[in-house]
Amino acid sequence: MRVRLILMTEAFVDRPSHRFSVAPMMDWTDRWCRRFHRLLTRRALLYTEMVHANAVLYGDRRHLLGFDSQEHPVALQLGGSDPRVLAEAARIGADFGYDEINLNVGCPSERVQSGAFGACLMATPDTVAECVEAMAKVVSVPVTVKHRIGIDEQDSEADLHRFVARVADAGCKTFIVHARKAWLKGLSPAANREVPPLDYPRVYRLKQEFGHLNIVINGGIDGTEAGLPHLQEVDGVMLGRAAYHRPFELGRVDRLYYGVERDDPGYAEIIDDLVALAEEVCSRDVPLYRLTRHALGLFHGAPGARHWRRVLTEGAYRKEAGPELIEWAVRPCLQAVS
């Protein structure tokens, strides 16, 4: 009875909540990053890195899609533009147990453009709609879209509304909007996350226009507290770089965003959990750095941060590195904050 009660209150109910999520980030939000983030927040929705639908069909699925049950709620982000291939990849992802399938319509990299997916799909809302429709037909979990407010010269508010209206018609109810346009030529993906100006009011107006849709805002939100005011205007907040570089802040998410009444986890508690996770990593013959590289920012701005980063950066790549490295790395940090 007690277990059931905990399950009902702790687990998300029916559908994943988008009130707070950590963005999909290539090379960053792998399964060990997500396990680490899950030590800090039980409620945030976590996203995978983008996986191309063809890779899901023809690649090593266990490697590409495998995840641990502790990661729930967790969404799989797919890349692609062929409705048939995306539908099959979505079905496979849902069978793996993902709580949501998300389509990437925001990545501007040259490689992605040459594959005709990512942000360039904003120019063809009909294609995105066909993809969403095909995916939604074969899975029972939500199919969502992450996109920009525009691309190149096609960046008027009317273009954005047309895009959302068309894709919503195809069955998408949740739109995660990176609040800046993307330039498809001349800017690198990194520059495309900095140079085009942020336009939060445009995302707010999208919510005003499409009140029945779940609109999540993303882009340049500099921390968990900074995200809160956006909830006056939209349904959810997605953090990317700030969450990755300052993960300690994720410890506040369950209280700030979900009203969970418990103390935020402190450093000592997080380290105990991280050491236990490191034991699991090592027992599965996974090199320790695959976990610790995601935790380098844990003590950002706190005493001992440099020691923590240095010991982990230098030590975790050694073959014999084990969980005790974390205890060694953290010593001056915990002494300073206790």
Ligand X SMILES: Cc1cc2nc3c(=O)[nH]c(=O)nc-3n(C[C@H](O)[C@H](O)[C@H](O)COP(=O)(O)O)c2cc1C
Catalytic residue list: 107
Q: Give least dist CB 252 to ligand X, A.
A: 16
Q: Which of 91, 161, 173, 241 binds ligand X (CB under 6 A)?
A: 241
- Confirm or reject binding of residue 49 to ligand X (CB under 6 A): yes
Q: Give least dist CB 180 to ligand X, A.
A: 8
Q: Which of 20, 23, 92, 196 binds ligand X (CB under 6 A)?
A: 23
Show Cβ contacts of residue 98 under 8 Å, excluding neighbours closer than 6 positions: 48, 65, 67, 74, 75, 76, 141
Measured CA to CA, the distance from residue 12 to residue 17 in angstroms comes to: 7
- Confirm or reject binding of residue 178 to ligand X (CB under 6 A): yes
- Dihedral of alpha carbons 70, 241, 56, 128, sign: positive
Token output for 48: 């995978």
Contacts of ligand X in 193-222 (CB under 6 A): 193, 218-221
Residue with the CB atom nearest ligand X in the bound state: 240
Contacts of ligand X in 106-125 (CB under 6 A): 106-107
Measured CA to CA, the distance from residue 147 to residue 105 in angstroms comes to: 5
Token output for 204: 């707010």
Q: Of 33-41, 102-110, 134-142, 209-217, which part binds ligand X (CB under 6 A)?
A: 102-110
Minimum CB distance to ligand X smaller for 227 or for 323: 227
- Confirm or reject binding of residue 50 to ligand X (CB under 6 A): yes
Q: Which of 17, 21, 104, 174 binds ligand X (CB under 6 A)?
A: 104
Q: Give least dist CB 239 to ligand X, A.
A: 5
Q: Give least dist CB 27 to ligand X, A.
A: 6
- Confirm or reject binding of residue 228 to ligand X (CB under 6 A): no
Minimum CB distance to ligand X smaller for 195 or for 282: 195
- Confirm or reject binding of residue 330 to ligand X (CB under 6 A): no
- Confirm or reject binding of residue 323 to ligand X (CB under 6 A): no
Q: How far is CA 326 from CA 177, 280, 308, 332, 334, in A?
A: 37, 14, 8, 11, 12
Measured CA to CA, the distance from residue 154 to residue 15 in angstroms comes to: 33
Q: Give least dist CB 194 to ligand X, A.
A: 9
- Confirm or reject binding of residue 182 to ligand X (CB under 6 A): no
- Asked whether the beta carbons of 309 and 296 are under 8 A apart, the reply is yes
How many residues interact with ligand X (rule CB under 6 A)? 22
CA atoms within 13 A on the CB side of 327: 10
Q: Which of 28, 204, 258, 328 binds ligand X (CB under 6 A)?
A: 28
- Dihedral of alpha carbons 153, 159, 163, 164, sign: positive
Contacts of ligand X in 143-162 (CB under 6 A): 146
Q: In this structure, what is the dihedral angle of CA atoms 155, 222, 205, 213, given to the nearest 10 degrees?
A: 100
Q: How far is CA 209 from the centre of its chain?
A: 26
Exposed/middle/buried for residue 152 (C-beta within 10 Å: 0-12, 13-18, 19+): middle
Q: Give least dist CB 121 to ligand X, A.
A: 12
- Asked whether the beta carbons of 107 and 50 are under 8 A apart, the reply is yes
Q: Give least dist CB 309 to ligand X, A.
A: 18
Show Cβ contacts of residue 319 under 8 Å, excluding neighbours closer than 6 positions: 287
The footprint of ligand X (CB under 6 A) covers 23-26, 28, 49-50, 77, 104, 106-107, 146, 178, 193, 218-221, 239-242
